[in-house]
């Protein structure tokens, strides 16, 4: 019988938790929830939409999109954290006239990155 170390057991439990958490978020990430987030990005949101928003916001920092102000009250740009780029940030050339519009773009991009095309509930995605 092979004995596992505590570190191996913790890693195993982390993997189980991540797999279950990601499965739940994928099942919660329906087209209705995404529509709710896109309609009113600042909230208030239903419990399900809030859970999805928190999950999308907790993705790893590399590749994460951030909203940057190009002036005192906009316009707004989206930057992507890119290790190795000057300042570790690549700023998109598209300007958004409102903070909410920039949030909508990020919600849609993160949802696609996390779970693939939204509206395919019940399908399995590898993450």
Q: Report pLDDT digits (tens) over 30-80.
A: 989 999 999 998 889 999 999 999 888 887 777 889 999 999 988 999 999
Instruction: Tell me: pLDDT of 107 over 70.
Output: yes
pLDDT at residue 122 in the model = 39
pLDDT at residue 121 in the model = 44
- Interaxial angle between packed helices 47-57 and 99-115, expressed in degrees from 0 to 180 and rounded to the nearest 10: 80
pLDDT at residue 44 in the model = 92
Residues 6+ apart with CB under 8 A from 2: none
pTM: 0.69
pLDDT at residue 123 in the model = 37
Name the helix (H) or strand (E) containing 67: strand 65-69
- DSSP 8-state assignment for residue 76: E
């Amino acid at each position: 019988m092979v004995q596992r170390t505590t570190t191996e057991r913790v890693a195993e439990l982390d993997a189980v938790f991540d797999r279950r958490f990601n499965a739940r978020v994928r099942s919660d990430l329906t087209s209705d929830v995404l529509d709710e987030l896109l309609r009113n990005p600042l909230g208030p949101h239903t419990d399900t939409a809030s859970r999805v928003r928190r999950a999308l916001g907790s993705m790893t920092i590399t590749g994460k999109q951030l909203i940057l102000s190009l002036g005192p009250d906009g316009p707004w740009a989206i930057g992507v954290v890119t290790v190795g780029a000057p300042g570790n940030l690549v700023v998109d050339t598209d300007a958004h006239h409102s903070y909410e519009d920039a949030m909508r773009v990020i919600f849609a991009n993160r949802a696609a990155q996390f779970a693939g095309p939204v509206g395919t509930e019940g399908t399995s995605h590898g993450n």
